[in-house]
Amino acid sequence: MSSRKMYYLICYDIREPKRWRKCYKLLKGFGERVQYSVFKCYLTDRKLAELRWELTKILSNEDSLLIAPIQQADVNRIIYLNMNIDWQLEKERFRTV
């Protein structure tokens, strides 16, 4: 019953605009886009399973998908060029706007 969260880098290559659109929209609901077709999501095991299931419903055999977990220790070793991403480890639980 762990509710521990972890960062995942989710990348996809989709050969058809309609499916691409669906996939993009779905992932926008789970995390933040960092590059074209690359998202970073901070997920529990359960959310990851949900996302994977939703994705399999959309993707077809010619599309590819890569989900890379990022260990907390590796977050500080990520290399950037002309970009920067904020990887907060302990995400806040409330936000006032």
Partner 1 sequence: MNDEPLIRVMALHAIEYCERLFYLEEVEEIRVADTAIYDGRRFHEQLPEYVTLEQFVLQNEELGIRGKIDCLRTQQGMLVPYEYKKGHARILPNGDVLAWPSDQVQIAAYSLLLEKHLNRPIMEGRVFYAADHRTVSISIDEKMRNQVMSAIARAKELRASTERPPITANERLCARCSLAPVCLPEEERLVEQVGRDTVRLFPEDRDLLDIHVTSPGSKVRRAGNTLLIEDKDGQKRSFPIEEVGSITLHGNAQITTQTIHLCANKGINIHWVTGGGHYIGSVSNSAGGVQRRLRQYRALIDPELKLRLAKALVIAKVESQLRYILRLTRGSEVRKELESYINTIRDVLSSTNTANSLDELRGYEGSAAKDYFACFSRLTVDDAKNGMAFIHRNRRPPRDPANALLSFLYSLLYRDCVQAIVTVGLDPTIGFYHQPRSQAYPLALDLMELFRVTLCDMTVLGTIHRNQWKVEEDFIQAGDQVWLSDTGRKKAIAAYENRKQDKWKHPVIGYSLTYARALELEVRLLEKEWTGKPGLFAMNRIR
Nearest distance from C-beta of residue 40 to partner 1, angstroms? 11
Residues annotated in a binding site: 13
Contact between 62 and partner 1 (CB under 8 A)? no
DSSP structure class, residue 61: T
CA–CA separation, 28 vs 35, rounded Å?
A: 12
Give dist(CA 38, CA 24) in Å, integer. 9
Q: How many residues bind partner 1 (CB under 8 A)?
A: 30
The site map against partner 1 for 11-50 (x = CB under 8 A) is: --------------xx-xxxxx--------xx-xxxxxxx
DSSP 76: G
